[in-house]
C-alpha cells in the first residue's frame, strides 16, 4: 500500500475509514491523502442568489472532513496531503485523483447501504477499495480471506498473505460451495491458499462450507469476529462487471467489518 487515498464526507463511517487508513499508513509506511468533494447540485435561476452561500457551507463541511484526517495522521506522526474540491460529479473527481496520484488503496466509509457514488467507485476504481462501516473495529488481528479460485481471488490471496505477514495477523480462509459439485474445487481453493500462507510463516485456518456464498461469508465473519474481510472484486463467473447483485456487493453492504475488494 504505497499510496492510500481516504475519500471522506465527514460522516461517522468516513471518520472510521480515516482512522483505519491512518493506521495502515503507519504500518505500511504509505503516502497518505485525504479528499472531500463538496457536491454542488445545479439550482434554478430563482435560487442563484443563495448559490454562493450554499457552496460556502458545503466547502466548510468538506474542509472539516479532511481536517479530521490530518489530525488523526498528525497524532500518529504522519503527514497527509488533502484536497477539497467542488463539483456536481464527485465520482469523476475521486476517480481522477485515484488515477493521477497512482493510488494503491482507496478507502471510504459505508453508512447503512452503499450510495450511488460509493457503488460506482467500487466498480470503476482501478485500485483496490476498502469499504468501512461505522461500527467497524480498526484492529487487524483476525483476517478473513474469501476465495473461489478466480483470478481476482488469487490476487486477493496474495494481498491477504502480504498483509498478514506485515501486521502479524491470523488468516482465516473460507471457500463456499453452492452445490455438491462445487465441493472438490472449493477444497482445492482453500488448500492452495493455506499452503501459500504457511510458506510465509502465517498462522492460518481453513474452512469449506456449503450454501449461499455471501451469507456464509458474513456468517463466518460474525462467528469468528474477524476484523477484516478480503475478497476479489469479481467472482469466478467473471460476470460482475456491474457490482449490483454480486457476492461482493452483498458482503460489503452487510458486513460489520471493513471489506477489502481486490482488483
Which has more confidence, 130 or 49?
130
Q: Is the pLDDT of residue 93 over 90?
A: yes
Residue-wise pLDDT for 194-210, tens only, equals 999 999 999 999 999 99
CA 20, CA 139: separation in Å to the nearest integer?
A: 8
Last residue of a domain, one of 97, 115, 133: 133
What grid cell was written down for 95? Answer: 476517480
In this structure, the chain runs to a length of 263
Q: How far apart are CA 124 and CA 7, in angstroms?
A: 15
Q: Are 17 and 123 part of one and the same domain?
A: yes
Cell of 52: 454562493
Report d(CA 80, CA 87) in Å as an integer: 22
Average pLDDT over residues 156-169: 97
In a shared domain, residues 198 and 237: yes
Give the range among 1-15, 28-42, 213-227 with minimum mean pLDDT.
28-42
The verdict on 12 and 102 lying in the same domain is yes
**Residues 8, 97: one domain?**
yes
Q: Do residues 173 and 115 share a domain?
A: no
| Positions of E strands within the chain | 3-7, 31-39, 81-87, 105-110, 129-133, 142-146, 170-177, 204-210, 228-232, 259-262
DSSP string, 63-132: HHHHHHHHHHHHHTT---EEEEEEES-HHHHHHHHHHHHT-SEEEEEE-SS--HHHHHHHHH-SS-EEEE
pLDDT of residue 241: 43
How much is the pTM? 0.92
Please give the average per-residue pLDDT across 109-118, as a whole number.
86
Same domain, 188 and 255: yes
Indicate the pairing of strand 129-133 with strand 259-262: antiparallel
Residue 52: which pLDDT band, with cuts at 50, 70 and 90?
confident
Q: What is the pLDDT of residue 78?
A: 98
* Claim to verify: residue 116 and residue 192 sit in the same structural domain: no
Whether residue 114 is found in the same domain as residue 191: no
Number of structural domains (the chain) is 2
Q: By percentage, how much of the chain surpasses pLDDT 70?
A: 92
Q: What is the pLDDT of residue 7?
A: 98
Q: Which domain range does residue 215 map to?
A: 142-262
pLDDT value at residue 45: 58
Residue 125 predicted with pLDDT over 60 = yes
- Asked which of 110, 133, 156 is the last residue of a domain, the reply is 133
Q: How far apart, in whole angstroms, are the C-alpha atoms of residue 108 and residue 1?
A: 15
Secondary structure letter of residue 107 according to DSSP? E
| Percent of the chain's residues with pLDDT above 90 | 79
Domain with residue 121: its CATH number is 3.40.50.620
The answer to whether 26 and 78 have CB atoms below 8 angstroms apart is: yes
First to last CA, the chain: 14
Considering only CA atoms, which of 42, 2, 7, 9 is closest in space to residue 25?
2
Residue 109 has pLDDT above 90, yes or no: yes
Q: Is the pLDDT of residue 40 over 70?
A: yes
Amino acid at each position: 500500500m504505497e499510496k492510500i487515498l481516504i475519500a471522506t464526507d465527514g460522516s461517522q463511517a468516513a471518520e472510521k475509514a480515516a482512522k483505519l487508513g491512518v493506521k495502515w499508513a503507519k504500518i505500511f509506511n504509505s503516502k497518505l491523502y485525504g479528499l472531500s468533494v463538496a457536491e454542488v447540485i445545479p439550482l434554478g435561476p430563482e435560487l442563484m442568489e443563495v448559490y454562493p452561500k450554499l457552496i460556502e457551507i458545503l466547502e466548510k463541511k468538506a474542509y472539516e472532513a479532511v481536517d479530521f484526517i490530518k489530525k488523526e495522521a498528525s497524532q500518529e506522526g504522519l503527514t497527509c496531503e488533502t484536497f477539497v474540491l467542488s463539483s456536481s460529479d464527485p465520482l469523476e473527481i475521486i476517480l481522477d485523483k485515484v488515477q493521477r496520484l497512482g493510488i494503491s488503496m482507496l478507502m471510504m466509509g459505508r453508512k447503512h447501504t452503499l450510495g450511488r457514488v460509493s457503488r460506482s467507485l467500487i466498480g470503476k476504481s482501478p485500485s483496490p477499495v476498502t469499504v468501512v462501516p461505522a461500527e467497524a473495529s480498526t484492529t487487524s488481528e483476525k483476517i478473513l480471506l474469501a476465495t473461489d479460485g478466480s483470478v481476482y481471488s488469487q490476487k486477493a490471496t496474495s494481498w491477504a498473505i502480504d498483509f498478514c505477514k506485515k501486521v502479524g495477523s491470523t488468516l482465516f480462509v473460507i471457500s463456499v460451495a453452492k452445490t455438491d459439485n462445487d465441493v472438490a474445487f472449493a477444497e482445492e481453493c482453500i488448500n492452495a491458499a493455506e499452503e501459500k500462507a504457511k510458506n510465509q510463516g502465517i498462522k492460518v485456518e481453513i474452512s469449506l462450507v456449503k450454501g449461499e456464498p455471501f451469507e456464509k461469508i458474513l456468517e463466518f465473519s460474525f462467528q469468528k469476529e474477524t476484523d477484516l474481510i478480503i475478497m476479489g472484486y469479481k467472482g469466478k463467473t467473471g460476470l460482475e462487471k456491474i457490482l449490483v447483485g454480486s457476492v461482493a456487493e452483498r458482503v460489503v453492504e452487510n458486513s460489520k467489518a471493513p471489506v477489502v475488494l481486490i482488483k
